Amino acid sequence: MEEPVLTVNGRRRPLTGVTAHTTALDWLRSTGLTGAKEGCAEGECGACAVLIATPDGDGTSWTAVNSCLVPVAALDGQELVTAEGLGSPESLHPVQRELAEAGGSQCGYCTPGFVCSMAAEFYRAGRAPDTDGADGASDAEHGPNGFDLHSLGGNLCRCTGYRPIRDAAYALGVPDPADELAARRERPAPAPAATDLTVDGTRFVRPSALDEALRLLHGEPSAVAVAGSTDLGVEVNLRGRRDPLLVAIDRLDELRTFAVDGDAVELGAALPLSEIERRLDGRVPLLAQLIPQFASRLIRNRATLGGNLGTGSPIGDAPPALLALDARLVLVSHEGEREVGVADYFTGYRETVLRPGELIRAVRIPLPLASLTAFHKIAKRRFDDISSVALGFALDVDDGVVTAARIGLGGVAATPVRAHATEAALVGRPWNLATVRSAAAVLAGEGTPMSDHRASSEYRSLMLGNALVKLFHGDAHRATDRREVPA
């Protein structure tokens, strides 16, 4: 086994003495690269953002991630760039220069993280200035230079304010052909190293194949599978969790499948959500609504469907949408594969049908999709927040009558649930306001919502009922655009 090494800012650095739970942020700072900061230790502020070289076809993308959540051992053999590696006081990177000229930095604590997130968007393939003859005005999400502001959604600034940061982002041009990081995109990203580190009684293993991972998980009851580490990293940082064996599964080809055929869409459980969004390109409208509301871009660049489902959380964003889509999970262990519906997957609070040593291999969404779908997330912030209530809707409406309905709910019971009573109140009825109001009264009573610091049980019930009315009025607006108004 070769000595573990990580290439940082073009220089190979040995990963000597790192434990399974040493984060990339802590390791970077121990080497003297102190630009990345710890602000929240849970992936909400972006002060720790860095760039990682990730595969993009035959080339490479520079992907921004939260270094406070990623075990540095997971980056063995990889390439990483920090704010220090982008430029220097004598030779500023274009992102750094625009931020400085726009007055986009005050105390400077968050600035290196903004620089890295902004650089990831600066280098994004396909980003280009508006050349269609428009007046150059930006819309709510993209500037006239094609810059997507959502790429900065996981970065917080408490003192400068966001206007000069936005101005800096919108002033960026395209990378110079001589830019080394731009040229690096044309070469393949490094393959993950087969890692096996044991330090201070903790072990980090990156198997080379799924069979090897399954053998480890079966043979070591204490082993924990880790992919994006966006949930485990929080447990490590804030609650001191220290599992004796971590098994990295994020780069296993068998868990990164993507297929669309006449019967189903298959999404590998270890595909990052950002990659799922890019590959689907709107082909599953319900997921196209869900994914932008799932945490931040920094989190989505690592987070996976397998991880979101694997935690068994009743407030995960993905389960309500997958329930509405009637999705099925492909589970795999050393004994083979089996399938289970998402509706049958959750058995209790943070409990699932997963057996010891078993993994979620893929999510399968049957086709055709329902004609009317929507994802509603009620939270204190519009983006980058935990939901108080989440709903996934999938309805078929033929000739003004609801012929099928599936509604998934999160945050209103010990597990994500289907709103079966509301579905029954809709099917066979005309899709009109009278039906919707009647069914909304049923939906308000679904689940067993509780009161906590996010919302009261009464508020959650009220939001459930309002969501169906909101869905109806939203569909009415869409139908008006088609000159087809529901009765």
Asked if 271 and 361 count as a contact pair (C-beta separation under 8 A), the reply is: no
> What is the pLDDT at residue 485?
37
DSSP letters of 62-77? EEEEETTTSBGGGGTT
> What is the pLDDT at residue 2?
76
Residue 100 CA to residue 114 CA, distance in Å, equals 12
> What is the pLDDT at residue 483?
35
> What is the pLDDT at residue 429?
98
> What is the pLDDT at residue 481?
42
> What is the pLDDT at residue 134?
46
May I ask the CATH class of domain 1-191?
A: alpha beta
> What is the pLDDT at residue 427?
98
Asked if 411 and 460 count as a contact pair (C-beta separation under 8 A), the reply is: yes
- Which of 3.30.930.10, 1.10.10.60, 3.40.50.360, 3.30.390.50 is the CATH number of 379-481? 3.30.390.50
The two beta strands, 359-366 and 351-352, are: unpaired
- H or E segment and range at residue 198: strand 196-199
- Is domain 253-366 classified as CATH 3.40.50.720? no
> What is the pLDDT at residue 208?
94
Q: What is the pLDDT of residues 86-111, one digit of tens each?
A: 999 999 999 999 999 999 999 999 99
Residue 6 CA to residue 85 CA, distance in Å, equals 14
Asked if 115 and 93 count as a contact pair (C-beta separation under 8 A), the reply is: yes
Residues of the chain falling short of pLDDT 70: 1, 130-140, 475-487
Closest to 241 (Cα-Cα) out of 311, 314, 305:
311
Q: What is the pLDDT of residues 330-387, one digit of tens each?
A: 999 999 999 999 999 999 999 999 999 999 999 999 999 999 999 999 998 878 888 9
Whole-model pTM above 0.85? yes
What 3-state DSSP class applies to 4?
A: coil
Q: Where are the domains of the chain?
A: 1-191, 253-366, 379-481
Tell me, what DSSP letter sits at residue 484?
-
> What is the pLDDT at residue 118?
98
> What is the pLDDT at residue 130?
66
Which region holds residue 30: left if phi is over 0, alpha if psi is between -120 and 50, else beta?
alpha
Query: Which residues make beta-bridge pairs with 365?
Result: 265
> What is the pLDDT at residue 482?
38
Phi, psi for 430 (deg, rounded to 5): -65, 140
Tokens 């067993």 belong to which residue? Answer: 448
